[in-house]
Amino acid sequence: MSNLHELSLKQLRTGLDNKEFSSKELTEHSLARIASHQDLNAFINITPEVALAAAEAADQKIKNKEVKSLTGIPLAIKDLILTKGIKTTCASKFLENFVAPYNATVIEKLLAEDAVIVGKTNLDEFAMGSSNENSAFGPVINPWDKTKVPGGSSGGSAAVIAAGLVRATLGTDTGGSIRQPCSFCSITGIKPTYGRISRYGVTAYASSLDQVGPMAGNIEDLAIMLNALCGKDPLDATSVTLKTPDFTKNLGQDLKGLRVGMPKEYFIDGIQAEVRTAVENAVKQLESLGATVVPVSLPNTEHAVPTYYIIAPAEASSNLGRFDGIRFGNRATGCETLEDLYCESRSQGFGIEVKRRIMMGTYVLSSGYYDAYYLKAQKVRRLIKNDFDRVFAKDCDVIASPVTPTTAFELNSRVSDPIQMYLNDIFTIPVNLAGLPALSVPCGFDQNNLPIGLHLIGKAWDEETLLKTAFAYEQSTEWSKKNCYK
């Protein structure tokens, strides 16, 4: 079949189980498309031998009727997540030859489902960026328009789905790094509640903000992926003991009685007019499906970006202290002292944005500045969370907003202006600070045929309502069916 890349996870499951094609054929099809789309620079490492061996094993499982939801289906993994025996570079020169000695828990869960891993996707170095231009291996290209960024930091994971190379991937989201590239590439992705999915084996950027999440072509596929990934992990102290529901169960339910909050702080001056219109039309569509639209206020939203860019760099400066040129990774040569070795190894191994954030984090944690910056930022973080708690307790079940103020921007247009780049995440950052679940679902295109995403934010541990809402919207529109496959 020549159109395998157009099928959803559910359709692929049916086709595999009915012997319409084999996992080996499906994997070969995926690898062939990856080879023909190398101009996107979406992969750092492709693993055909590993993938084909896994596909043959999956075909035997299917033959024996030992089938799970992802058995035999090719997936790709953001190259921030450890994969045993396969390079995990974090898109950094520091780790360009690092081979992980063990799997992250999320990888173990996918392998337990007999999924096929075809490669590791490109990202902003150590997940620090909003455009996927900070990778040591070059920028990822947006399949919709090759002059535009795909978003970041999970830009590679988004681009491979948008281009039809695989049907689902894993990304990570620290301040919007799943949702923003999903919006830019017209796919779906969810940042679950903090603690819902294990972070064990995921290279830490900002530990209190990082969350693994799936990215896919549609909402049902997201739910299928979530079913496989969630659950308590004894290896991760931040993962929560909570029964994992079947996230596909409530898909298709109507939206009668659902209250959708529209925060005035998320519809501000400076939003691209087409983005505002598309999101407002999407909310009207939810209303036509039975939801009630409620105006709400999240007054501390204006403080989210500065708060994030104190807390995240502070945690990053601590987490990246392990990369010293001694234990693993890049080691500078010709150094006469230990201090020189540290300095040269880190100077050579880290890119500009990583160095910037380490310096910012070290500054706000330094003696004399901790109380003025870091401690105050943590207090503001609580106020931001309190805003969400208040509106969810009284006013609404789901919050709707744009994912980003604009559609995908030009390559190299914001690299020299970090502040402008950081402001791109103004609508996604508050969610991470509050630890809430949120997703992006396609809701339109601008006049240049660039995708626009609808941002839905939910109550803690209530991914089911988010998915139900997004699924009802998706099924009532044509946006998610539009593609740029070639």
Q: Which residues are catalytic?
A: 78, 153, 177
**Token pair recorded at residue 302:** 């204006």
Q: SS3 of 103, please?
A: coil
For tokens 């084909």, the residue is: 52
Sign, CA torsion 211/213/219/223 = negative
Burial (CB count <10 Å: 0-12, 13-18, 19+), residue 378: middle
Strand 74-78 with 168-173, pairing: parallel
* End-to-end CA gap in the chain: 15
Task: Indicate the residue type of 316.
Answer: A
Angle at 178 between CA 430 and CA 262, to 5 degrees: 45
φ/ψ (deg, to 5) at 398:
-140, 145
386-403 in b/e burial notation, b at 16+ Cβ within 10 A? ebbeebbeeebbbbbbbb
The Cα 57–Cα 51 span in angstroms is 10
3-class SS string, 168-231: EEEEEECCCCCHHHHHHHCCEEEECCCCCCCCCCECCCCCCCCEEEEEECCHHHHHHHHHHHCC
Among 441, 459, 460, CA closest to 451: 441
Type and span of the H or E element at 468: helix 463-475
Helices assigned H by DSSP within 18-101: 23-36, 48-63
Burial (CB count <10 Å: 0-12, 13-18, 19+), residue 282: buried
Strand 116-121 with 74-78, pairing: parallel
234, 236, 237, 239: CA torsion to nearest 10 = -90
273, 274, 278, 279: CA torsion to nearest 10 = -40
81-119 in b/e burial notation, b at 16+ Cβ within 10 A? bbbeebbbbbbbbbbbebebeebbbbbbbbbebbbbbbb
Angle at 469 between CA 465 and CA 471, to 5 degrees: 115
